[in-house]
């Protein structure tokens, strides 16, 4: 089955700096890579996703890149704000049937 590795486990940045979170996956059949933001005690919420036919996707301050050959994908948050502080999970799935999550990255943005 799919195995998703996520790094780093914790990340602390100054407000305004960029944050990068990296994930690798093992199953070459995976073709859907969402990123979720989870605030303390809340449900995971989708913030951005990418499919395997695309190499990069951007939505305002967040962007995701995918390297299918190397089986890794990354989340980039620019101009970070304190409200970006949360746990971020990457995930990988083939046709959404068996989505597997990374271990999560706790992002802290210091004002």
Partner 1 sequence: EPEVTQTPSHQVTQMGQEVILRCVPISNHLYFYWYRQILGQKVEFLVSFYNNEISEKSEIFDDQFSVERPDGSNFTLKIRSTKLEDSAMYFCASEDGGELFFGEGSRLTVL
Residues that bind partner 1 (CB under 8 A): 1, 34, 36, 38, 42-46, 49, 89, 91, 96-104
Q: State the minimum distance, in angstroms, from the CB of residue 96 to partner 1.
A: 6
Q: State the minimum distance, in angstroms, from the CB of residue 56 to partner 1.
A: 19
Strand partners, 7: 22
Beta carbon nearer to partner 1, 91 or 109: 91
Q: Which residues contact 65 (CB under 8 A, 6 or more apart)?
A: 50, 55, 56, 73, 74, 76
Beta carbon nearer to partner 1, 34 or 86: 34
Give the N- to C-terminal CA distance of the chain in Å, as an integer: 41
Beta carbon nearer to partner 1, 4 or 66: 4
Residue 24: both structure tokens together: 């690798």
């Amino acid at each position: 089955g799919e195995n998703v590795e996520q790094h780093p486990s914790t990340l602390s940045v100054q407000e305004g700096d960029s944050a990068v979170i990296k994930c690798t996956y093992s199953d070459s059949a995976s073709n859907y890579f969402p990123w979720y933001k989870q605030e303390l005690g809340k449900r995971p919420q989708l913030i951005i996703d990418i499919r395997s036919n695309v190499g990069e996707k951007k939505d305002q301050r967040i962007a995701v890149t995918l390297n299918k050959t190397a089986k890794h994908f990354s989340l980039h948050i620019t101009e970070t704000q304190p409200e970006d502080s949360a746990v971020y999970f990457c995930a990988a799935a083939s046709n959404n049937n068996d989505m597997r999550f990374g271990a999560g990255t706790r992002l802290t943005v210091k004002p």
